[in-house]
Amino acid sequence: MNNILLFLHFVGLAMGFAGGIGSAVTMRFAGGASAEGAAALKRLPPVFANISAYGLLILWATGLILIWSVYGGPQNLPNLFWLKIVFVLLLTVLAGLQHATYAKIRRTGNAALGARLKVLGPASGLSALLAMAVAVFTFN
């Protein structure tokens, strides 16, 4: 059972990174596309953000279950694990801010709000990478 949970945990990780990379690549191509092409490409990043968010939900669900099924609860985890949780919490907040930004753009039509995403996206990617790096050292 734990192997299945760990597999699903890694699927969530892959979804998170795939969504972020997909969004970044799409926006890069949109910058050099014709107006019509750019408009079509700019509809994709919110879809990629949803893929990442679903991945993050899978990570949270499987991670919480693994804490109890493998370690018997949070009290038995190595101290370095809590640093990983700090980065995961940061990632979760950043993902929420990205979704709030997309919602506000849809609601107001103010495309200038997209400038926030140029900061939130890379910050999310960095927090995800740091969480993964700390996890590697924590769980060997």
Question: 64, 83 in Cβ contact below 8 A?
Answer: no
pLDDT (0 to 100) of residue 29 = 87
- Dihedral-angle region of residue 109 (phi above 0 means left; psi in -120 to 50 means alpha; beta otherwise): left
pLDDT (0 to 100) of residue 6 = 96
Please list, in sequence order, all residues whose beta carbon lies within 8 angstroms of the beta carbon of residue 100, skipping any fewer than 6 positions away. Answer: none
pLDDT (0 to 100) of residue 130 = 97
pLDDT surpassing 90 at residue 80: yes
Please list, in sequence order, all residues whose beta carbon lies within 8 angstroms of the beta carbon of residue 17, skipping any fewer than 6 positions away. Answer: 55, 125, 128
pLDDT (0 to 100) of residue 90 = 97
> Per-residue confidence at 110, pLDDT binned at 50, 70, 90?
very high
Report pTM: 0.90
- Please state the separation of Cα 33 from the chain's center in Å: 26
Cα separation of 130 and 16, whole Å?
14
Number of domains in the chain: 1
Question: 64, 14 in Cβ contact below 8 A?
Answer: no
pLDDT surpassing 90 at residue 30: no
| Structural domain for 127, as ranges | 2-139
